[in-house]
Amino acid sequence: MATNLAEFRNLAQDEINKKVNSNQFQSNPLLGLWLGRSRQAGKLDRPGGLVQLGGVSVPRLSNITAIPSNVREEPFQTAVQGGGTKPGYRGNSPVINVATMVDETLRFYMTDYLQPFKVFHQDLRSSRSPHGTYDLLVTALDSAMNELENDIANDIFRGNPGSQTANVWDDLLGLRVSIDDGTNTTTYGGVDKTVTTILKPALYSETAVAYNWSLHDDVDRTAAALRGPGIDLSICNPNLYYQTIKPKAIADGRAVVIENASDMPISMQVLGFRNDVVKYGNVHIMSDRNVNDASGSNKSMLFHLTASDWYMEIDPRENFKVTEITDESLVAGGDLAFSGHIKFSARMFMRHPKWHGLHTDVA
């Protein structure tokens, strides 16, 4: 059967689009939440621009349709009034205390993913119908997308760029790196957080603790004192969630287990998985298998996020895009196969790390 490579590529892209738009990310729910927020904001099929996990996209950024710059620059400034006078008090002229002023620019770069897939000539020849060709392609794409999905989902938590000044980062700036007090990672967006301490999280603790509701309260109070809107999303691994948090919610009645996705707030209905969520106050607690285990099988990191402050930017040219498919047999030493790649390019960042928290060892 002759193979039209252009039609083959279009068929591959259609399958990838179906995968992304169906939000079938049961095993990587936080990635599903990302892409679900993108779809909810009307940016999928082929999302582009900025996506927020909680709430709507920021107006000044949400209309990005052109190719985003390779670097996102986020200037920030904090200033303390000097002179002992009240702002706006009649007869006084308050001034900025330059000695305590923070004036920096965070820089976040794109991370590129390129996942290969391959269909062998022999398999295509043995498939005697277009349906057989379709099945072969779907099998190859499913395998490729699973690998790509897992790589991205893992980087969401553990991504740590080798150089934060490189033009292209080799990893996303993951949660573990972003929510750190300088103990393990001193740089955030190219700025030294041990010097610019406002980039440190509201709470960072490596002390082993037993799970209780106050862990969320402690971060929430500290973040609120730093003028944050409060945490609304906590993430742990499935062991901690199912062995400790969910049973505790059922036993003491201080939290609600939401079993039906349709009962969740709109921003949580796109989680992309069929598992339940525990709601404690305003905090939705969910599990994700990509969260690192701590020292024991039922121990976990416990991330505390202000979801509206956590951003993802996707390059619309490389948003799960299928490259041209080539015939490798036309190249000396190539396989007797047709091959292509799935491209994805994105960056992830927080504007206010001080509104987030992390307990690294919870049981």
Residue 133 domain-assigned?
A: yes
Flag whether pLDDT at 274 surpasses 60. Answer: no
* Inter-CA distances, 4 with 125, 326, 363, Å: 14, 11, 56
Alpha helices by DSSP H, 74-169: 121-126, 130-158
Residue 199 domain-assigned?
A: yes
Longest pairwise C-alpha distance within the chain:
89
Average pLDDT over residues 138-144: 90
Digit-coded pLDDT (tens) for 201-216: 999 999 999 999 999 9
Regarding predicted confidence, which is higher, 304 or 224?
A: 304
Residue 160 domain-assigned?
A: yes
- Contact, 185 vs 160, CB < 8 A? yes
* Inter-CA distances, 348 with 32, 63, 71, 159, 224, Å: 15, 18, 11, 10, 23
For residue 301, give its domain range. Answer: 5-73+108-362
Lowest pLDDT segment from 69-73, 120-124, 149-153, 247-251? 120-124
Nearest to 133 by CA among 11, 292, 276: 11
With 0-12 CB in 10 A as exposed, 13-18 as middle and 19+ as buried, what is 356? buried
What pLDDT shows up at residue 234? Answer: 93
Digit-coded pLDDT (tens) for 148-162: 989 998 999 999 999
**H/E element holding 239?**
helix 238-240
Residue 95 domain-assigned?
A: no
What pLDDT shows up at residue 95? Answer: 65
Quote the pTM value: 0.82
**Strands 203-205 and 357-362, how do they pair?**
parallel
Name the domain count of the chain. Answer: 1
Q: CA-to-CA distance for 21 and 158, rounded, in angstroms?
A: 25
Amino acid letter, 312? M
Residue 58 domain-assigned?
A: yes
- Percent of the chain exceeding pLDDT 70 equals 72
**H/E element holding 76?**
strand 71-78
Residue 79 domain-assigned?
A: no
Digit-coded pLDDT (tens) for 225-249: 888 888 988 999 989 999 999 999 9
> In 201-245, which ranges are E strands?
203-205, 233-236
What three-state secondary structure class fits 49?
Answer: strand
Lowest pLDDT segment from 5-19, 45-59, 132-146? 45-59
Q: CA-to-CA distance for 127 and 98, rounded, in angstroms?
A: 73
Residue 78 domain-assigned?
A: no
What phi and psi, each to the nearest 5 degrees, are found at residue 32? -60, -35
Nearest to 177 by CA among 191, 299, 36, 218: 191
Residue 53 domain-assigned?
A: yes
Lowest pLDDT segment from 18-27, 172-181, 272-281, 354-363? 18-27
Please identify which residue in the block is written with the tokens 């936080």. 30
- Contact, 268 vs 276, CB < 8 A? no
Q: CA-to-CA distance for 21 and 308, rounded, in angstroms?
A: 22
- The answer, yes or no, to whether the previous bond of 45 is cis (omega within 30 of 0) is yes
